[in-house]
Amino acid sequence: MEIILAVITGVLYASGIYMILRRSMVKLILGIILLGNGVNLLIFLLGRITKGEPPIIDSAEKVLEGVYADPIPQALILTAIVISFGLQSFAIILVKRTYKVLKTDDLDQLNTTDEDS
Amino acid sequence: MTNDIIILPLVVHFFLSILLMFFWNKLNFQKIVSVVGNAVALGVAIWAFTFVYNNGTQIVESGDWPAPFGIVFVGDMLAVTLVLLTAIAGFAVSIFSTISVIKARLRFGYFSVFHFLLLGLNGAFLTGDIFNLYVWFEIIIISSFVLISIGGEKSQLEGAVKYFALNFFASMIFLTALGVLYGLVGTLNMADISLKIAEVKDTTLVEISAVLFLVGFGIKSAIFPLYFWLPASYHTPPSAVSAIFAGLLTKVGVYALIRIFTLIYGGDSFLTILLLTLAIMTIFSGGVGAIIQNNIKKVFMYFIICHIGFMIGGLALFTEVAMAGVIFYLIHDIIIKTNLFLISGLIYRIKGTTNMKKLGGLYANYPKLSLLMAIPLFSLIGIPPLSGFWPKISLILASFNAQEYWFFGALIFGSLITLIVIAKLWSEVFWKNQPEISFPEKFIYFNQLRFGQKFTFIFPIAFLTFVTLYIGFGAEHIQQLSQRIATELINNELYIDAVLKR
């Protein structure tokens, strides 16, 4: 299971960064979405995957003994998903506005900020 | 109860940003609430600062969960000093925004987002939990995306796309680093991480996470190979927005680097060499970039990059003298960079352009105003006894003691190049005769404004200049403060003991 997840994480990172490096703005958005998912999977994976051991303390005991699934990475991922959802929706609107103003999807055409004015 | 004072700056800005949303179309009311609110925030920040100064590090545990289980807010000297500086810069910029930002922009919730940005900054300085730091960073960048693109001009949108892409990427790298670190130590509290990282056997993974943090924060604070988004975006929004970005957004990256590299990865030799090399390259590339620019806003942007190098290099040396220099420079830099962009906004209002080729004769037209603008410019160079001079003594002394002559040379080079560029800027903008160019007709120039409006333009600049003069002439106080912070940072047991209540 870990190996499959590790491979998927790697593929998501690689394809995300590849898409960001492309010149099209739509691919930029796809890239950040893929990269965001890759990061979430990485955190999930690094929190150690434990099957069928919920972190619930028995009524007879005071502390948790033995192996148990760590709930913190899931909380972190939930937060990260919400944040990256907000950012991605902002990015889509931003790219749409930029496309309307500039009439181009090519990032290489975005060079008025470097002109001497 | 009394130690809850350190989270009051957060509460004030959170309350203000929500309150302002309810008065979306009442712009005059928004302006008054924002300025008054920032004055209140400044008062609260001074209160929190003096409280921590007298009583030592304060901890607030959210939900009463003790560290390392709950999220803690830690008000140590460094954090509250930066909160105070944020309040000073925020107060000045909010006054400047009321007059310099046009109505079409203010109508889209400018002030509300502005307070969210200040909320994020204060949160990032005060939090003691590394994932919480990530969340505050996200609040900062979401607010800054809105501020940079509000208005929707062509250059702004282009700048916003570049700014967005690289800052989002930086956040993802930061999150990756965080994931790796959590996998290694299994805790998110920074004080707890600092203790547990020493027990990790796999030092390669520790270094990988350190380098990932360096890349993530490096993009945000614009250090050498990662700064290219900054000159492409910071000059596009209105000057008031550029001012708060220049003063605080890159510095929050520097703050995070200082916090992470003193608390968690302190004294690693590989990282020292890496940071030092990057610092030297940052100073060189920022300085050389500043020479060839003709737009004063772009010149100031390259100075941001150049002077980030001073702080990163001082951090790499990791001695008490160097850290005191870094903290002093950080205090000086936040005030001065905010002021520089406010000045560029004022020059734009006077002449209708920020291009040095088209500017000139400012000293002949406005001699008193030019003298006011001269003080921050000369402080930036570091002419004694103004504020830029004192931290450079500490940094140069520390680099000499550590026998890091390359960094020593870079410091001298950075200062010299600042002097050359400011001298060029001074002669081009202030002393040269006004060249014959056609001025835009439909533009409200500074001399057409009423007295009250002129005053609103000049007051924030005068206020920040006064603070700069205090930093310069009251250098003894600031130096004592910096040394106290440096001691706290080098001996990180103080921070850890305070957080974990050992």
Complex prediction ipTM: 0.93
pLDDT recorded at residue A116: 63
pLDDT recorded at residue B234: 87
The crossing angle, in degrees rounded to 10, of helices B77-100 and B475-490 is 130
What residues in B contact A25, CB-CB < 8 Å? 161
What residues in B contact A103, CB-CB < 8 Å? none
Q: Which residues contact B230 (CB under 8 A, 6 or more apart)?
A: B222, B250, B301, B304, B305
Could you tell me if A78 lies within 8 Å of chain B, comparing CB atoms? no
Residue B138: which of A73, A83, A110 has the nearest Cβ? A83
Residue A117: which of B142, B165, B355 has the nearest Cβ? B355
Partner-chain contact A94 B149, CB within 8 Å: yes
Q: Where does the pLDDT of residue B125 fall: very low under 50, low under 70, confident under 90, or very high at 90 and above? A: very high
Distance between CA B67 and CA B59 in Å, rounded?
10
Q: What is the tally of helices (H) and strands (E) in chain B?
A: 22, 2
Q: How many CB pairs below 8 A link A and B?
A: 100
User: Which conformational region is residue B67 in: left (phi greater than 0), alpha (psi within -120 to 50 degrees), or beta?
Assistant: beta
Average pLDDT over residues B414-424: 93
Average pLDDT over residues B272-300: 91
Partner-chain contact B164 A36, CB within 8 Å: no
Among residues B78, B81, B59, the alpha carbon closest in space to that of B70 is found at B59
What residues in A contact B158, CB-CB < 8 Å? 98, 102, 110-113
Could you tell me if B158 lies within 8 Å of chain A, comparing CB atoms? yes
Partner-chain contact A101 B172, CB within 8 Å: no
Does the A2-50+72-104 domain belong in CATH 1.10.287? yes
Q: What is the pLDDT of residues B420-452, one digit of tens each?
A: 999 999 998 888 888 877 777 777 788 888 888
Could you tell me if B179 lies within 8 Å of chain A, comparing CB atoms? yes
Residue A113: which of B138, B165, B232 has the nearest Cβ? B232
pLDDT recorded at residue A62: 81
The crossing angle, in degrees rounded to 10, of helices B130-149 and A72-102 is 10
Q: What is the pLDDT of residues B301-326, one digit of tens each?
A: 999 999 999 999 999 988 899 999 99
Could you tell me if A94 lies within 8 Å of chain B, comparing CB atoms? yes
The residue in chain A having the minimum alpha-carbon distance to the alpha carbon of residue B292 is: A116
Among residues B462, B268, B271, B476, the alpha carbon closest in space to that of B373 is found at B462
What residues in B contact A46, CB-CB < 8 Å? 179-180, 182-183
B70 has a pLDDT exceeding 90: no
Average pLDDT over residues B163-181: 92
B363 has a pLDDT exceeding 80: yes
Distance between CA B185 and CA B197 in Å, rounded?
6
Could you tell me if B149 lies within 8 Å of chain A, comparing CB atoms? yes
Average pLDDT over residues B5-23: 91
The answer, as to whether pTM is greater than 0.90, is yes
B168: three-class secondary structure by DSSP: helix
Partner-chain contact A86 B176, CB within 8 Å: no
Could you tell me if A92 lies within 8 Å of chain B, comparing CB atoms? no
* 3-state DSSP of B378-438: HHHHCCCCCCCHHHHHHHHHHHHHCCCHHHHHHHHHHHHHHHHHHHHHHHHHHHCCCCCCC
Q: Which residues contact A40 (CB under 8 A, 6 or more apart)?
A: A77, A80, A81, A84
- Contact (Cβ atoms closer than 8 angstroms) between residue B425 and residue B298: no
Q: Where does the pLDDT of residue B465 fall: very low under 50, low under 70, confident under 90, or very high at 90 and above? A: very high
Partner-chain contact B179 A39, CB within 8 Å: yes
Q: What is the pLDDT of residues A39-67, one digit of tens each?
A: 999 998 888 887 777 888 888 888 877 77
pLDDT recorded at residue B25: 86
The residue in chain A having the minimum alpha-carbon distance to the alpha carbon of residue B187 is: A72
* 3-state DSSP of chain A: CHHHHHHHHHHHHHHHHHHHHCCEHHHHHHHHHHHHHHHHHHHHHHCCCCCCCCCCCCCCCCCCCCCCCCCHHHHHHHHHHHHHHHHHHHHHHHHHHHHHHHCCCEHHHCCHHHCCC
B174 has a pLDDT exceeding 90: yes
Residue A111 CB-density burial (10 A; 0-12 exposed, 13-18 middle, 19+ buried)? exposed
Average pLDDT over residues B30-35: 93
The residue in chain B having the minimum alpha-carbon distance to the alpha carbon of residue A70 is: B186
Partner-chain contact A46 B176, CB within 8 Å: no
* Mutation for testing the A interface, residue in B175, B206, B212 having most A CBs under 10 Å: B175
Q: Where does the pLDDT of residue B2 fall: very low under 50, low under 70, confident under 90, or very high at 90 and above? A: low
Domain locations along chain A: 2-50+72-104
Among residues A110, A23, A26, the alpha carbon closest in space to that of B156 is found at A110
* Mutation for testing the B interface, residue in A83, A94, A113, A117 having most B CBs under 10 Å: A113
Could you tell me if B189 lies within 8 Å of chain A, comparing CB atoms? no
**Element of type H or E holding B467:** helix B451-473
Mean pLDDT taken over chain B? 90
B331 has a pLDDT exceeding 70: yes
CA distance A1 to chain B (A): 17
Partner-chain contact B294 A35, CB within 8 Å: no
Could you tell me if A22 lies within 8 Å of chain B, comparing CB atoms? no
B270: three-class secondary structure by DSSP: helix
Q: Which residues in chain B (385-444) have CB-CB distances under 8 A to chain A? A: none
Could you tell me if B154 lies within 8 Å of chain A, comparing CB atoms? yes
Q: Where does the pLDDT of residue A117 fall: very low under 50, low under 70, confident under 90, or very high at 90 and above? A: low
Q: Which residues in chain B (77-116) have CB-CB distances under 8 A to chain A? A: none
Kindly report the number of other CB atoms within 10 A of residue B61's CB atom: 17
